[in-house]
Homo-oligomer: A and B are copies of this chain.
Amino acid sequence: MTRICVLILSGACFAAVAFCADGDQALLNQAKQVLGPLPTAMVSEKNPITADKVGLGKMLFYENRISADGTVSCARCHPISLYAADGLRTSIGDSCKAVPRNAPTIFNAASQVGEHWTGSRADVEDQAKEAVTVRVISGMPSYDAVKKGLGKIAGYGPLFEKAFPGDKDPVNIDNYALAVGAFERTLVTPSAFDAFMNGNEAALTDPQKAGLKTFLETGCSGCHSSAYLGGQMYQKFGVAEPYWQYTKSKNIDEGRYEVTKNESDKYVFKVPVLRNVEMTCPYFNDGSVDSLHTAVWIMGKVQLGKNLTDQETGGIVVFLKTLTGEIPEDAIKVPILPPSR
């Protein structure tokens, strides 16, 4: 290890010794206790990934015609071009209805404790199924209307048959959800951080490694854990102080209380995945903060009760940018949908 470091960095290594040789290994070990590299896909026993399901799911992900006003597809609030978020504070759904929260990216999103900011959906399949009929998202009047709508686009029949062999009546809402879910389960975006976690010490620069160390030691990884750096637990937003004192939120969102009606779930949200956070501003449940630097500082303040210095905050941001990953080649390509006739 030392030898490689010396070869690459020459004398400079000995001056900035913190992340050479043993320092790197120690940081890697420290990181491995709570974080990890991404898997190649987010598998589920309930919904095994097959090429036919993924292919169909990608088409349905882009399908705007299965919405009440004909303009809403999954891709509307999760456009691949914006790392599967939409850049808005809060999204706008069918017939211009206001979605109450910021659209989280659906990259690296299928291994969470629940979906949505409040965990109101069990998994990506549940989210896909319910979003189609939710009034403020796709607004279809019923599951049956979805089935009928899909049935009108003749080209889908053979694709559902192929993706769900043996199913006598495969064009239905449950298979719709399984197909979209299977596609989403392939959307992992490995980054420089994963190369580091897989043992390539040169994959991160010294400032990035320093940022990771700050991220770990400040306490961020206490909640933003796992390969996804989030998505594994619910947590009160505002442990130390009310969040809205810093976010300047226009409305106070009671979070998971909306789902459980438990007093203890007031202001509780799912800890969001930090993968690609550089690319998915604005931040927080209501998209109230534009700057990643500000968002990190607020997190320190209201979650950890710490007034992070500019250097600490900046260091964490430098690390977070190493989570910007590569979008799977197939997901970059738009599917061609069957015509309506």
Contacts and interface: CB of A to CB of B under 8 A. Distances in A.
Nearest to A89: B70
Contacts of A337: 81-82
A291 interface: yes
Number of copies of this chain in the oligomer?
Answer: 2
Interface stretch (A180-188, A219-227, A276-284): A276-284
Interface in A66-104: 69-71, 76, 79-83, 86-88, 92, 95-96
B83 A71 contact: no
Contact of A87 (B65, B83, B88): B65
A319 B322 CA distance: 53
A218 to B, nearest CB: 22
Interface in A311-334: 327, 332-334
Contact of A339 (B278, B339, B340, B341): B278
Q: Indicate the size class of the contact surface on chain A.
A: 35 or more
A341 B291 contact: yes
Given A279-B339, A339-B280, A81 B62 contact: yes
A336 interface: yes
A242 interface: no
A334 B334 contact: yes
Contacts of A80: 334, 336
A64 interface: yes
Interface centre among A69, A82, A336 (most CB of B within 10 A): A82
Nearest to A294: B341
A225 B279 CA distance: 46
Interface of A: 59, 62, 64-65, 69-71, 76, 79-83, 86-88, 92, 95-96, 278-282, 290-292, 327, 332-337, 339-341
